[in-house]
Amino acid sequence: MATRGSVVRICRTSTLFADGRCASCVIRNTLERKRLQEEGLQSALLRIDNTSLPPKRTLYRQDAPADALYSLRQGTVKLVRETPTGEKRIVRLLKAGDLAGLEALAGADRYRHTATAVDVVDCCRIPLPVIAHMEAAGRDFSVELRKRWQSNLDEADSFITAFASGTAEQRLARLLLKLIEQHSTPGCVSLTRSDIGAALGVSMETASRLMADFRRRGLIHGGGRSLECDAAALRDLANPR
């Protein structure tokens, strides 16, 4: 973390809550409700890094010691699981408001996945001791945490039912629909062909062929940074008749 290319700001100023993108943060939400200035919370907050990561930078790696949570403020993060034999599979695509690395809170000593920024990601790294300290001081994150945990579960379920069922064409249509709906803007993140393959459980070549096919059929336009899709047409493909 916090290596070349990433911008690190420390959460120690009163502008803490001034940023609208903090709105979805577990920690902030709880603090805001209960007032900040007490006990040693100031020093605890000093250890929360607010970081901006360029695409491809990793937040944490599979099997590394799980010592922090990551609260996503902006952008998309992929959670990749690597099998002992080397093939990688994307098991979740997290967005603003989601928490990455929840296993750390459940007592796991290692991360289950490698978390990597897909586009420019803005996130807060929250070391476990910070959570422990706050809870010892009477904070209760449980309500917020449950929602984030459920959000992770829902996402995992989607990967099973939407991205690992049906033909490759259906899977891709569903993935694109998901990407555009979690972006709100007309465009959406443009994944590499390998990432699409790793998310859908198909080969990179199949992903490429299908994307090319979709483009010829006018279902998608553009590419590069942002991809534009014909949501209505994709919906027809996503669910067989």
Partner DNA sequence: CGTAAATTTGAATGGATTCAAACGTGGTGG
Partner DNA sequence: CCACCACGTTTGAATCCATTCAAATTTACG
Sequence-distant (6+) residues with CB within 8 A of 142 are none
Nearer of residues 68 and 227 to DNA, judged by Cβ: 227
- The listed partner (DNA, its own copies, none) that binds 138, CB under 5 to 8 Å by sort, is none
- Tell me the C-alpha distance between 1 and 60, whole Å: 8
Tokens of 164: 């690992």
**In the set 21, 30, 193, 231, which binds DNA (CB under 7 A)?**
193
To its own copies, the closest distance from the beta carbon of 156 in angstroms equals: 4
DSSP structural state of residue 102: G
Give the residue, chosen from 85, 136, 216, 218, that forms a contact with its own copies under the rule CB under 8 A. Answer: 85
C-alpha closest to that of 235 among 153, 195, 157, 176: 176
How far does CA 210 lie from the centroid of its chain?
Answer: 25
Q: Which of residues 97-116 bind its own copies (CB under 8 A)?
A: 102-103, 105-108, 112-113
Question: What is the nearest approach in angstroms of DNA to the Cβ of residue 223?
Answer: 7
Among 206, 227, 237, 238, binds DNA (CB under 7 A): 206
- Residues 6+ away with beta carbon under 8 Å from 14: none
Question: What is the total residue count of the chain?
Answer: 241
89 lies in the site for DNA, by CB under 7 A: no
Nearer to DNA, 150 or 167 (CB): 167
Q: At its nearest, how many Å lie between its own copies and the CB of residue 186?
A: 26
Nearest to 30 by CA among 106, 170, 130: 130
Residue 124: strand pairing partners: 50, 71
Minimum distance between the CB of residue 105 and DNA, rounded to whole angstroms? Answer: 33
Establish if 236 lies at the interface with DNA (CB under 7 A).
no
Q: Which residues bind DNA (CB under 7 A)?
A: 167-169, 192-194, 201-206, 208-209, 211-212, 224
